[in-house]
Amino acid sequence: SFTLQQLKVFSSVAKTLNLRQTADQLFLTPPAVTKQLQNLELALGFDLLVRHKNRVSLSDKGERFYQKIIPILQEINVLEEVEVPAIRESYTLVRFAMSHIFEQSLLSMLCRLKKVKKHLEVDVAVMSKKAQLNALKANKIDVAIVVLSDDELKALQKDDFQAFHYKAIVFHPYIARKLLLDDHQHILEASKRQKILSGQKAVLIDSDVNLLPIPERNIRYMNSYLSIYNAIVSGLGYGFLPSNLIQNIAKDPSLYQLDKEISVKKPPVESYFVCLKGGRAKNIIEELIQLIMKKV
């Protein structure tokens, strides 16, 4: 058997009739060209070239073989230069990273986007905001989905990144409903609710420590809002949840919203899709946003 590389070497030699020139064109050494030709002749069982003192020429069989492989090599060139790149480009890999807060709301939307765009490949990682922004700057991800302050947003825009607004995230305080029920399964009166709350810990994300005026001794820290949700449902304390991100939270019968009982408010925050300005992810982000808006 013979290889495509051997055919390409022989084709070049047939055109140039010069081993050194072929070696230069193919970025090979002359001995490597000679070896490829010898292996091809061995596989075919006949000589392709007539060797002269300072040059080569095609043998009769070499000329006939060359004419046979010309259309084959032309088709292969079309595949390598046009068809294969087109096929490769038709499958677009977009690397997303998101903060924990978006797990429920966006993972399902990314799956829906992948169904709409049949040739889209999606790679998703969940990591902290700092890790996302570092990965974005190092070109290890294409899109970061994060909460940003105005200063963070301006800094990214100066670094040649662009941000697409996702939504304002609104937080409400919740507690397990079972903690506030009397023997007849009715919500306790206001004074009794306040007494129970005074003995509960606030379940917070680490980054909330400076946002909310709550003594350190009264705080339990969690690393994601899903962890906070599970802690609240389990009766470990009260906490702030992103009501418009965690699916069906307002309808969850196991939770009680504490807007009237808790005077401390967690301010809303703005979230964004961030990518390199002019990068290939821009169109994918715009299509994802459209899909989100249609669902809403």
Instruction: Order the strands of the 92-98 sheet from edge to edge.
Output: 120-126, 92-98, 143-147, 269-276, 161-169
Per the model's pLDDT, the better-predicted residue between 294 and 265 turns out to be 265
Check if the beta carbon of residue 262 is closer than 8 Å to that of residue 146.
Answer: no
Rounded to the nearest angstrom, the gap between the alpha carbon of residue 256 and the centroid of all alpha carbons in its chain is 36
Q: Under 8 Å CB-to-CB from 34, ≥6 apart: which residues?
A: 19
pLDDT at 139: 86
Among 56-70, 117-131, 216-230, top mean pLDDT goes to 56-70
pLDDT averaged over the chain? 85
Average pLDDT over residues 128-133: 87
DSSP, collapsed to helix, strand or coil, labels residue 175 as strand
Distance from C-alpha of 149 to C-alpha of 142, rounded to nearest angstrom:
20
Tell me how crowded residue 240 is: count the other CB atoms within 10 A of its CB. Answer: 25
Check if the beta carbon of residue 149 is closer than 8 Å to that of residue 161.
Answer: no
Distance from C-alpha of 96 to C-alpha of 184, rounded to nearest angstrom:
49
CATH superfamily of 91-168+269-295: Periplasmic binding protein-like II (3.40.190.10)
CATH number for the domain running over 4-83: 1.10.10.10
Among 37-41, 117-121, 210-214, 223-227, top mean pLDDT goes to 37-41
pLDDT at 174: 93
49-51 and 56-58 beta bridge pairing: antiparallel
Ordered by start, the domain boundaries in the chain are 4-83, 91-168+269-295, 171-257
Percent of the chain with pLDDT over 70: 93
Per the model's pLDDT, the better-predicted residue between 62 and 106 turns out to be 62
pLDDT at 180: 92
Asked whether the predicted pLDDT for residue 246 surpasses 70, the reply is: no
Q: What is the pLDDT of residues 52-92, one digit of tens each?
A: 887 899 999 999 999 999 998 888 887 767 655 555 555 67
Tell me how crowded residue 272 is: count the other CB atoms within 10 A of its CB. Answer: 21
What does 228-271 look like in DSSP terms, one character per residue?
HHHHHHTTS-EEEEETTTSTTGGG-TTEEE-TTT----PPPEEE
56-58 and 219-222 beta bridge pairing: unpaired
**245 burial level (CB within 10 Å; 0-12, 13-18, 19+):** buried
State the pLDDT confidence band at 296, using cuts at 50, 70 and 90. very low
- Fold match between 91-168+269-295 and 171-257? yes
Tell me how crowded residue 116 is: count the other CB atoms within 10 A of its CB. Answer: 11
Residue type, 165: H
State the pLDDT confidence band at 12, using cuts at 50, 70 and 90. very high
CATH superfamily of 171-257: Periplasmic binding protein-like II (3.40.190.10)
Distance from C-alpha of 245 to C-alpha of 209, rounded to nearest angstrom:
21
What does 203-225 look like in DSSP terms, one character per residue?
EEEGGGGGTS---GGGEEEESSH
pLDDT at 85: 59
Asked whether the predicted pLDDT for residue 259 surpasses 60, the reply is: yes
Average pLDDT over residues 45-55: 89
State the pLDDT confidence band at 38, using cuts at 50, 70 and 90. very high
Instruction: Order the strands of the 171-176 sheet from edge to edge.
Output: 219-222, 202-205, 238-242, 171-176, 255-257
Q: How far lies 235's CA from each of 188, 239, 266, in Å?
A: 16, 11, 21
